[in-house]
Amino acid sequence: MNSIKNLERLQQLHSLIEDECTGSPGELARRLHISERLVYHLIEQLKDFKALIRYDRSRKTYFYQEYFRFQVNISVQIMNEDEMTELFGGFRNSSTVLSICM
């Protein structure tokens, strides 16, 4: 579930950057309830997706230098054994199914 938590944090960070209301790195960390180090790590992850992120010291906010869209869709589907038997055409699997769509 760490991947889901990371995606949620990236989505929160993206929204704040998009609105240009992040505050300083320390303020952003407190707002997201994470460490400042993790803030920098999340920003680097967005940059890995080709986001051009800059920081304006006078306004104390991160912002996108160019338009950037980041959208996360998470789908979790839980089935009982009968539903899985029907879904997989007779293949029996007693584990829970977790589907993540990105």
Q: Give every CB contact of residue 45 below 8 A, 6+ residues apart in sequence.
A: 6, 10
For residue 1, the model assigns a pLDDT of 53
Q: How many CB atoms lie within 10 A of CB 62?
A: 23
Q: How many CB atoms lie within 10 A of CB 30?
A: 14
Determine which helix (DSSP H) or strand (DSSP E) holds 61, and give its type and residue range: strand 61-64
Query: Mean pLDDT for the chain?
Result: 83
pLDDT tens readout for residues 30-80: 999 999 999 999 999 999 999 999 999 999 999 999 999 998 887 777 777
The residue with greater pLDDT, 89 or 58, is 58
Report d(CA 10, CA 73) in Å as an integer: 12
> Can you give the pTM of this predicted structure?
0.71
CATH 1.10.10.10 maps onto the chain at: 2-64
Residue range 2-64 in CATH 1.10.10.10:
yes
